[in-house]
Structure 1
Amino acid sequence: MSDFAQYQDLVYANATNGELPRLPYDHERLRDLAEQAMEPGPFGYVEGSAGRERTALANVEAFSRYALRPRSLRPRSRDKGGLGVTLFGESYPTPLLTAPIGVLEQVHDRAELAVAEGADPVGVPMVLSTASSTPMEEVAEAVDFWWYQLYWPGDDELAESFVRRATAAGAKAIVVTADTKRLGWRPRDLAQGHLPFLRSQGTANYFSDPVFRSRLKADPEPDGVFTEAVFHFLGSFADKGLSTDNIARIRAWTDLPVLVKGVLRADEAVELAEIGVDGVVVSNHGGRQIDNSVAALDALPEVVEAVGERMTVLFDSGVRSGADVAVAMALGARAVLLGRPWVYGLAVDGAAGVEHVLRSFLAELQITAELLGRDVADLDRGDVARR
């Protein structure tokens, strides 16, 4: 077991030698530093959400409605607060994954490769976005474990190509995002006129794909604006008729576990379980798609109750601390995808910033688990109460 809590000891030890931390441990302070480091358009793209941003706010506030219930005198746990989990038959040292966030070239010039350098040393797998700035095969060479997130395009042959490429490159799972049949209404992006895809950003997997390229008259221009490739990308980005019928077809393309991300209702989770989907990610896209949607954490117990015995339930949206991870896992999530915090670390300090954020979350999570007297994989509803 990796003792992530020792990170706290190292910080204090370094401080006694006059070496104070370079980055903050408070999310809001790190976000402020990221805003200073980024251009207004890219920062608004990452920080912003749909409409009046009520969903994003609700995601964060929801964690205050759930309280952890320590039991100080529990019998000694097998790993003393161990963080290891098993997902789809694979052992992972932690229950954290980096959420699939696209267009990272607008955050840092090394994009996903910098994320890999920060996440891999702490054993946190990447969930690579379809809209990444680096082709999936290059990312695969830089990490030990990674999953592939699919935005299902309007072209089914392209969807198949993406899945087959990810499988061949060594992905451990396919995560289909279901809540992005089109981009949500995002006032911050509109005010800046900022849509990075129009500048050929976030298109690396498309422009490197043989099926996508076969649809074009000329080779894509990597830095092109308003080119044929850009317009074809925009026209094929999402299948507005995405349904369980589409998702069921993945079984013919890969033998990897298949998850669906963007599930907030028990009835939809049950439908997915019935067609043999291996897992769901309870998520509202961090509030980026629908304003005034249900907070993802409030939807988690309903989904777990409906399908938790039949499929693996994961969670994202609104997680801002290691204690938040513990709450989500106590409510039934088997693992948690973390988004904006590590992106801000990437903006401020590249790979080192990503590693700083992930180590901080894991240290707090392990300390929280030890103080609860639990291993995170064993957290359950008895460890959390609704306030």
Structure 2
Amino acid sequence: MVPMGSNIGRARQNEIYRAGIHGRAPAIPTDFATLERRAQAVMSKRGWAYIGGGAGEGRTMDANRSALDRWAIVPRVLRDTSDRSLEVELFGQTLPAPVLFSPVGAGALAHDRADVHIGHAAAELGLPYIFSNQGCAPMEDVAAEMESVRPGAPRWFQLYWSTDDRLVRSLVARAEAMGAAAIAVTLDTTMLGWRPQDLNLGSLPFARAEGINQYTSDPTFWEIVAERLKGAVSEKPEVSLGAVKTLFSIARNVPGELRRNLTAPEPRAAVETFLDIYSRPSLNWDDIMTLREMTSLPIVLKGVLHPDDARQAVELGIDGLIVSNHGGRQVDGSISSTDALVDVVDAVKGQIKILVDSGFYTGSDVFKALALGADAVCIGRPHMYGLALAGADGARDAVANIVAELDLTLGLSGHTDVTTLDRSALKRV
């Protein structure tokens, strides 16, 4: 287990400096720029394009950074900050720090069975992992791994709303059964954004059956595939070297024996079915309200940026929001997550839990988000980059470094409890 609690920042520093006495530098860089650069060096072009890339010209990614930089921390001095608390409560669970591991689809582009390794890392830290609906391992496998590390390890489930409600109900039921503490419904990906890095490579991971394991492990999904196969008209596919490579990828990534998968119609039909039904452009508030009929778990809406949408969520009894522009990967030129956070916090007035993601890469970034009114912050690219470099240990250390810096920033700024932070700790510059 990785130690958490008071003085985690100093403990983390001391661990690294003690190793330095013996000439050992940390395997995971402690600054984001170096972490990102080293991760890119070890990832494939396809992996980097999908995980590191953004929508359009990358303006939203730039906006996420510049918006954070417009808020400056104003430290206070001569305060006793020797004992500090990072603990927060979310939906009945006490967490050692206000940090969650964000869902990232097709994580196997960074590391095989990425979701299992990320779950292991999150469990070591005692922090929630929001399982990706577009994961590369069945949710049950990830939950089992987390339980083996820390019984009761907190986890949520991210839901992409399919065009087939039978599949939605099945995924929600599985999430309940595997111990999810909340359902986070992603709202901003009813269609894929214009992502030039992927497009320029002609690379869509899901077309190669990468990131569809929640589906291929679901009996309802296979029922839908079987229905489609019954009415399918056989067409002679174009034969090319690329098509052969894609077929091998599909055969490896769906359940079953490789040789059979290469010739059987079901694996290819599964990919085609996924591409047709995975997300619903018509998703609306009425659909969200039907989720109350499916589950008693807290419902969190991910991708809210407008204060009017936040107010409507409150009126409809939604339990929480994740202010997010999908890491800048959906709409080029979107409002930054930080600017949207300010608007949403002011609109909600503390009535429901507010989380935030997109562009929060350091402990000081997390500090600013909490001071602006967020209850917790979701970390995405840093843990994926750590994963690419060193598997579960890398994902763990990348987030542990963020938590350690948060702790030190808290104390050095004259504060002792993250739950008492407010905008008086910052100045807009």
TM bracket, shorter-chain basis: over 0.9
Equivalent runs, 1:1-387 vs 2, <5 Å: 1-5=5-9, 6-74=11-79, 76=80, 80-143=83-146, 144-217=153-226, 222-223=253-254, 227-374=268-415, 375-387=417-429
**Identity within the alignment, %:** 42
Amino acid in the other structure paired with 1:100: P
Give the 3-state SS of the residue equivalent to 2:398 in structure 1: helix
- 1:154-213, Cα deviation, whole Å (9 max, x unpaired): 111211111111011100000001000110000000011110101111111111112111
State how far apart, in whole Å, the 2-side matches of 1:231 and 1:23 are. Answer: 38
Contact 2:137 2:214 in 1 (8 A): yes
- 1:13-49, Cα deviation, whole Å (9 max, x unpaired): 2212322222321212111211121110111111111
State how far apart, in whole Å, the 1-side matches of 2:321 and 2:97 are. Answer: 19
Q: Normalising to structure 1: TM-score of the pair?
A: 0.96
Contact 1:341 1:357 in 2 (8 A): yes
State how far apart, in whole Å, the 2-side matches of 1:85 and 1:309 are. Answer: 15
Contact 1:322 1:362 in 2 (8 A): yes
State how far apart, in whole Å, the 1-side matches of 2:330 and 2:349 are. Answer: 25
Contact 1:308 1:332 in 2 (8 A): no
Amino acid in the other structure paired with 1:3: N
State how far apart, in whole Å, the 2-side matches of 1:341 and 1:22 are. Answer: 14
Contact 2:6 2:84 in 1 (8 A): no
State how far apart, in whole Å, the 1-side matches of 2:402 and 2:93 are. Answer: 22
Give the 3-state SS of the residue equivalent to 1:337 in structure 2: strand
Which stretches in structure 2 are left out of the alignment for 5+ residues?
147-152, 231-249, 255-260
- 1:38-65, Cα deviation, whole Å (9 max, x unpaired): 1101111111111011001110121110
- 1:83-124, Cα deviation, whole Å (9 max, x unpaired): 110011211111110111011111101311111222221122
Offset of residue 373 of structure 1: 2.4
Kindly report the root-mean-square deviation, in angstroms, between the aligned alpha carbons of the 2 structures.
Answer: 1.7
Q: Which moved more, 1:212-221 or 1:321-330?
A: 212-221
Runs of at least 4 residues off by over 4 Å: 218-221, 223-226
- 1:255-293, Cα deviation, whole Å (9 max, x unpaired): 111000101111000111111100001110000000000
Amino acid in the other structure paired with 2:184: V
Q: Which moved more, 1:240-249 or 1:209-218?
A: 209-218
Which stretches in structure 1 are left out of the alignment for 5+ residues?
none
State how far apart, in whole Å, the 2-side matches of 1:80 and 1:184 are. Answer: 45
Offset of residue 308 of structure 1: 3.3
Contact 2:105 2:134 in 1 (8 A): yes
Amino acid in the other structure paired with 2:66: E
Q: Normalising to structure 2: TM-score of the pair?
A: 0.87
State how far apart, in whole Å, the 1-side matches of 2:222 and 2:37 are. Answer: 40
Larger radius of gyration: 2
Offset of residue 2 of structure 1: 4.8
Give the 3-state SS of the residue equivalent to 1:354 in structure 2: helix
Contact 1:98 1:339 in 2 (8 A): yes
